[in-house]
Amino acid sequence: MVFCDDIRTEIGNKPSLMGVYPAEMLVERFPATLPRFCAWVNLVTPVEDAPEQIRVRLMQEDRPVLDTGEIALNEAVRDALPVNGAFVTSFALAMSPFQLDGETWLQAIADCNGETLTSRRFSIRQRS
């Protein structure tokens, strides 16, 4: 998962991630309002386990701040997406604006095939 300021679709349907954050974000002070904040989530599973449905949630600690709901993937889509023997799909998640009241962390959670997959945590702290 990659966090950034914006995700744009370029010619040829290629995503461009603008203002990519490393392992954490530092803000000058809280509260802080980001005009736009995005996450690029990649889901990779063995091709034989390609999900029929996916739900992705972006959690801020213990509460969801964004939820895709159930996304159905038909067989044609699942068959068209194998990359090197794996099923790969990506999600662009965007929040505009995004309010930060204090230090926190974010994490993506994907539900597919009866399993819950979690990303690493992304920290947001005040610059010291």
Q: What is the pLDDT of residue 81?
A: 61
Report the C-alpha gap between 97 and 100 in whole angstroms. 10
For the whole model, what pTM was predicted? Answer: 0.84
Distance CA(78)–CA(122), nearest Å, equals 29
Whole-number pLDDT of residue 42: 86
Closest CA relative to residue 127, chosen from 95, 100, 108, 107 = 100
Helix/strand/coil for 69: coil
pLDDT at 95: 95
**Which regions of the chain are under pLDDT 50?**
none
Instruction: Report whether 41 contacts 3 (CB < 8 A).
Output: no
Q: How many CB atoms are located within 10 Å of the residue 85 CB?
A: 8
Of 89, 119, 90, nearest in space to 106 by CA: 119
At residue 13, the pLDDT reads 86
pLDDT given for residue 111 in this prediction: 92
Tell me what pLDDT residue 71 has.
87
Structure tokens at 64: 């969801």
